[in-house]
Amino acid sequence: MTDVRVICAIGRSGQLGLQGGMPWEGRQERAFIEDVERFFEITRGHVLIAGPKTVASFPDFAHDERTIVTIRSKERPEDVLSRFPGRVVYIGGGPAVWDVYARYVRHWDINTLPYDGEADTWFNPAWLLAGGAVTRR
């Protein structure tokens, strides 16, 4: 069994991304710094799989303490997840990835940040209810 989880951060209205990055990129207030620290703390020692752009956004040091794997749309999610038996696997996004992998996720860790600005990518609350599909099928 693979323990599939998500950890992500959203703005107050569900903002997820802007022009390929985080909407709040560069913000130095405590909440934003702590969010990044917490992301690396919680994923340490685990598997982190994500689409190519999200993987490219991780700093080099991130690869030292966790297994980071780029996933592609041509791969079947069942095949991808079966490569990590007994591991905790975090699905790092982006949204197109969560659309497909949400049904396997048993734990969502969503940090709401004090951000009210613009975005071009949004959190979809339907992802949270998709997990039941695995047992209903």
Ligand X SMILES: NC(=O)c1ccc[n+]([C@@H]2O[C@H](COP(=O)([O-])OP(=O)(O)OC[C@H]3O[C@@H](n4cnc5c(N)ncnc54)[C@H](OP(=O)(O)O)[C@@H]3O)[C@@H](O)[C@H]2O)c1
Q: Which residues ranging from 66 to 95 are in contact with ligand X (CB under 6 A)?
A: 71-73, 77, 92-95
Q: What is the distance between the alpha carbons of residues 6 and 12, in angstroms, rounded to a whole number?
A: 18
Q: Which stretch binds ligand X (CB under 6 A): 26-34, 46-54, 59-67, 126-134?
A: 46-54
Q: Which of 2, 4, 5, 9 binds ligand X (CB under 6 A)?
A: 9
Q: What is the distance between the alpha carbons of residues 46 and 63, in angstroms, rounded to a whole number?
A: 11
Nearest of 101, 123, 126 to residue 111 by alpha carbon:
123
20 near ligand X (CB under 6 A): yes
Collapse the DSSP code of 33 into the 3-class scheme (helix H, G, I; strand E, B; otherwise coil) and give the result.
Answer: helix
- The residue ranges that bind ligand X (CB under 6 A) are 8-9, 16-18, 20-22, 50-54, 71-73, 77, 92-97, 100, 121
